[in-house]
Each structure stands twice: as structure tokens, then as C-alpha cells.
Amino acid sequence: MTGESVYIILPSTAIGGVEKRLAGLFLYLADHGDDVRLVASKELVALLRQSREHAGIDRHDARIDAFEAGSDAFGALRVHLRQVFRAAPRGVFHYGLASPLRLHASRSRRTLYTIPNASLAQYNARGLVEVYGGILRATRVDVLDPSVFAELTSRFFWRRGSFSLTPGSYVDLELFRPAPAAEKRNLIVFCGLFSHEKQAPRLVECIPRLLALLDAAGFGDTKILMLGRDPEGGSVSRRVAELRNPRVEARFDPDPRPHLAAAKVFLSLQRSTNHPSKALLEAMACGCAPVVTDTRDSRLTAPESLAKYVPRDFTADDLLAPIVFLLRRSDQELNAHSSAMRAFLGEQFTLRAMASFYRAIYRQLRALPA
């Protein structure tokens, strides 16, 4: 390691899309000899080690600066970063999700702030202060969503040149693979945070009628599996349990691959946009046909040739037709669709392309005075 290492900083204690993406970036860069370190909570590092996608992180223990999150992960990270700044005053600091407004106490202007949110409307007034203050504190700003990028570059017009639009996310096509079509089951999977943004509560409301409609259509063996963390005090999981239907289950699983590989249908139902949902990419890589809400830039991740679209404010009746169409297909049609999805992902969503994008930004930041 040198005094100009890149420090990828993750504040959370759980794994979501941004954690998967940036931990994958760290692992790829470390494997290829780049001067990079990961600053993350011990809790998050433990979860990454349990994940098949990031299992290789054990090879790079010397590159991981782990801190004990305790009851205040943000406060613990802020204290830990003081040590990092003293040890590496010329480092490049990449803040993933957490705003550098209150975290970046270093004099270094070699800072990158990643904003992965699909909508600024998700923030309250305090959250917007954090985002806007982080933009002003950082030297470069990396935005995942095209609409958020347009909004921020318009609002901060005098700093337009400091913004970059991320080309997308990535999926490991070797790790995420489909089962043969003959082994796939009439299984519908939802995978993601059980939040209102991802519309898990709306989906639960639809499930009783959806199952009844599927029964009438001759698909009485269809099951629905909801995988994810429940941030609403467990309310979504409780509502699923209250259905008392063995064909519906809601739970967390750190490894969704077996379920995605065996399923025929994947539900990507976000309110703002489904681009570039990591869960959606993983499902497509597993040959799981997506049913997607018709929101903003979703077609950048799931073109209409590969996905079925439903209204954002969907009903059970809206979901029925595309699901029945996808369940009725022959093994030959399933295999052809799976191959087409994987070919598309291999062209558009590679870790190599994402790493190249970030390497270019890191080079620019290293060229600046510390």
C-alpha cells in the first residue's frame, strides 16, 4: 500500500445493492493489483465473507480497514476515518452512499461521492442537506440514476463537469446461472428490501387475488417467494404469515441464487426506476423472466424484448397476464429467453467495464494536489 491508496468507504451493517456493487468493485481491483482498500464495518465484512459473490474477500484481509459499528455505525465510522486520514493524507476517498459532508475531515480534495438513489424524493429535508452538502464537499460525484443525474447537474450547474453518470452495475455470469428449463418450477420470486419504494407492501396486497386468478388459469401449483430484509418492523413478513398460505413465503436469504435459478418469473416492481437493479440483473442471469414496472429508465436494464411490463401502480389483474404468458412457455422458449438475457448482460453489465469507469476517476483524483 502507498500513501495514495483508494479507500472505498461503506457505512452500513447490511448488504444492499450499493454494498454489493462497491464491494465487488473492491474485490475486482484488489484481485488485479490496484492500490485499493475497503473501509467497512465488521458486521458488513462478515456478511460479505458469507456471500458466495464476495467470498474471495478473504484473500485481501490486509486491505480491509474494519471498524466496530455498535449502535451508531455512522459515528463509529467517523471516528475510524480520523485514523485513516492521519495514516493516508494523500489517499483517494470514495464514499459509497454515505455523504462526505460530516465524514470527510481530511484536507484532501481527492474525494468521490457515489449517489445510488433512484429519486431525490426519497430524502427528507435533513437527507437533502446531507446530499447537497456532500456534493459541495466532494471533488467528483458519481450518480447511478440518469434522472437524478439530470436534476443534480441542473441544480449545481456551475459544477456540472464534476458529475459522472455511472454506466451501470454488473452481474457475475459465472456465479449466477440458470437451471435447465426442464428443472425450473412455477415459482415467482421477489428479491429486495421489503420497502414501499420496491412496492413489497403493494405486492402482498395483491397476492390473495393473484393466486386465485392463477388457480383459475390452471396454475394452482404456482408459489410466490419474497426474499429480503424487512425494514418496516417486520410488517410485510407478518402480513405474509397472516395469509396462512403455504404457497407464499417471505424471508431473508443471503444467497438467492438457487431460488432464482429454479424460478420462472421475477418481479421487479420499484416505484421510481428498476435501472440498474442488482437483483434484476441477477435474476436475468439466472434465466428468471422479469415482470417489471413501467418506470423511467427501466428499459435500460430490461429491454421490452426481454421483459414484460406492468403499470407502476399495478393490481393483481395487471400481474396476471404477463405471469401466465411466462409460465406457459415451452422448455425451448425458456432456454432461448435465458440465452438472450445472458447475452445482453454480457454485453452491457460487466464488472470489467464498471472497474474501468472508476479507475479513470481515481486517476483524475490522484492527479490533484492532496
Q: Which of 92, 163, 164, 102 is nearest to 133 (CA)?
A: 102
83 close to 67: Cβ distance less than 8 angstroms: no
Sign of CA dihedral 94, 100, 106, 111: positive
Backbone angles phi, psi at 152, to 5 degrees: -75, -40
Q: Matching CATH topology for 6-170+350-366 and 181-348?
A: yes
Separation of alpha carbons 26 and 36, rounded Å: 7
- Phi, then psi, of 223 in degrees rounded to 5: -120, 155
Query: Between helices 17-31 and 42-50, what is the axis angle to 10°?
Result: 80
Q: In CATH, which superfamily holds the domain spanning 181-348?
A: Glycogen Phosphorylase B; (3.40.50.2000)
E strand or H helix at 339, and its extent?
Answer: helix 331-348
Each residue's pLDDT, cut to its tens digit, for the chain (370 residues) gives 566 899 999 999 988 888 999 999 999 999 999 999 999 999 999 999 988 889 889 999 999 999 999 889 999 999 999 999 999 999 999 999 899 999 999 988 999 999 998 888 888 899 999 999 999 999 999 999 999 999 999 999 999 999 999 888 899 999 999 999 999 999 999 999 999 999 999 999 999 999 999 999 999 999 999 999 998 778 999 999 999 999 999 999 988 999 999 999 999 999 999 999 999 999 999 999 999 999 999 999 999 999 999 999 999 999 999 999 999 999 999 999 999 999 999 999 999 999 999 999 999 999 998 7
The pLDDT, as a whole number, for residue 231 is: 85
Q: Is the pTM of this model over 0.75?
A: yes
CA distances from 135 to 25, 38, 82, 260, 278 (A): 22, 21, 20, 37, 24
- Residue spans of the domains in the chain: they are 6-170+350-366, 181-348
C-alpha 360/C-alpha 84 separation (Å) is 23
CATH number assigned to the domain covering 6-170+350-366: 3.40.50.2000
